Amino acid sequence: MIKLNTKILKKNLVFNSPLILIGVVMNWVSFISRTDYQGNIILAIGEILNSPAVVLKALPLSFNPVDLIVASSVTLILLLLILEKRANQKKFRKGVEHGSARWGTAEDIKPYVDDDMRNNIILSETEFLTMSSRPKSKELIEYARNKNIIVIGGSGSGKTRFFIKPNIMQMHSSYVVTDPKGTIVNEVSTMLLKHGYKVKILNLVNLSKSMRYNPMAYIKNEEDILKLVDTIIENTKGEGEKAGEDFWVKAEKLLYQAFIGAIFYEFPDFEKNLISVVEMLKMCETREDDETFKNSVDLWFEELEQKNPDHFAVIQYKNYKLAAGKTAKSILISCAARLAPFNIPRIRDLVKEDEMELNKIGDEKTALFAIIPDTNRTFNFIISMMYTQMFNTLCTHADDDCGGRLPIHVRFMLDEFANIGKIPDFDILIATIRSREMSASIVLQSKRQLKSVYGEDKAAIIEDCCDTTIFLGGKSKDTMKDIVETLGKETIDDFNTSDTRGSNLSKGLNYSKLGRELMTLDEMAVMRGRKCIVQIRGTRPFFSNKYEITDHPMYKYHADGLEDPRWFDVEKYVKKQHQHPISYESLKTSMKGKTMRITENIEPVQLFEGDKLEMENGGVDFTDYYADGGEILG
């Protein structure tokens, strides 16, 4: 409050000082004119100008009523004139009358860039964004931005080449990459392994080239069960006209929650997977004409209830059983339709156990590639489940074990985001993951894709949580209109010429200022393929060249084709990850009579199927090789 009053006082002094000075001078003029010139003010002013010393006899002030009235009247008249002028004063902003938009410069982006180029997110050829979420100085706090990015570009605009792969090459974080074409993993994994990364692969295009993912491996409590069931419901379809109705969906949820809860709490570890859910579903026989009939699952839950009446699975199953026989049968049919993919042998093999280690992605540098078909969404619900569990698992791990922040930042490079499926509460997650050292780069062909999956309101929330937008080019009118509007208008000079011919020849030239979009819709539609638009919250937009991947220092490790020796062989790598530890006893059994001598002083060592074992002089030699056909030799 004291500071505010001081400012007001200073402002009033500056405004009133000239008026006070004029009032004092008029007091002197009135005094001299009254005493020396019989009230002639003009003569008095002339005398003062010719002989300023005459003022001395009027000092300091005359308190004669006439002199005070003259001084006050002149001062008041001037004050009223000034106030009137201020009230009618025109507000001019020269040069920006119709808009102040302009393209950003090197000086505009400078505060956002880290001095160490390896610690930046690559946005374009000339624009970068520091990965640091905690500025080193107070002056830089205003430039702190979240790392969530929306990348928009039509087919062939270079979303992978100009954004995703160059950012993976930065290797400052762990990466979770959606790989619709299934080629990114081949092109960059050799580089990642060479630099100490773990590589994980979930391949829904060719399941034989995928590591295993068991959603139930990441369930820790009832809340996780509810989230998993919600994800299954959101991204799969039931059967029949009633499958989408609220009652039937809720009934299905109860059954899934009961089964998954029972499996999680009561089944042995090797049966804790979604295959067990399908098998339990198969045993749920119902009889419409016999409400008292009990199938084997009913009997099992009754036994469980006797042991623990408050068991989560028991409560959910009893709620499901409130449905009559005919209703229960309809629910089971819808459940069977949703879980039909788990009857496919390759899917059953995929989810029977877990090799993804999603909870460790923020602890050690990891690159997880999710390869999804871009023409068929049948199995995409598995990707959605994985992303949902990954976000929740990493958030919980950060809060409970890491003081609220993961040791290593995790970047989600979500190419073809609309094809992943719906991640429950993603509009909430994207607003909260920033503080846990996570960020999402949402890659779309148009903004309409986001709205089609999440709806108008949630899509707007998701977009609002991304401080950076990159437009690589496209044809979507809605998207381009939004960008044109956010770019704003600039002020330009305009002139018109006129030439009137007739009996009197007349020519004219008029200058004016107009407002014009920084980039019009038609200009954006024909934007050169090499160009892109980068918008960062709080600064001017940038019209720049896309980042050329061949300019990156790590490009020397990038594979350019199947014949390139740097091309990563996914099949061999995945096969290696599938190999399971085997004991000496299993080795002896598999040898079937072959002689093997093992010295007593050798510590137990885990062997892997496919490893080569050679016996020489009672010793053991292990050669772990990256190839097919490893064999055990006696």
Q: Which of 66, 57, 82 is nearest to 27 (CA)?
A: 66
What DSSP designation does 100 have? B
**Position 159 pLDDT exceeds 70:** yes
| Average pLDDT estimate for 265-269 | 93
Q: What confidence score (pLDDT) does residue 20 get?
A: 78
H or E element that contains 395:
helix 380-401
| Average pLDDT estimate for 275-304 | 87
Task: Kindly report which listed range (25-29, 172-176, 266-270, 424-428) carries the lowest average pLDDT score.
Answer: 25-29
Q: What confidence score (pLDDT) does residue 623 get?
A: 34
3-state secondary structure 103-148: CCCHHHHHHHCCCCHHHEEECCCCCEEECCCCCCCHHHHHHCCCCC
Task: Kindly report which listed range (53-57, 103-107, 236-240, 250-254) carries the lowest average pLDDT score.
Answer: 236-240
Q: What confidence score (pLDDT) does residue 240 get?
A: 45
**Position 608 pLDDT exceeds 50:** no
Q: What confidence score (pLDDT) does residue 91 get?
A: 67
Residue 145 · residue 537 · CB < 8 Å: yes
Question: DSSP readout, 36-84?
Answer: HSTT-HHHHHHHHHH-GGGGGGG-S----HHHHHHHHHHHHHHHHHHHH
Task: Kindly report which listed range (203-212, 235-244, 296-305, 509-518) carries the lowest average pLDDT score.
Answer: 235-244
d(CA 179, CA 499): 63
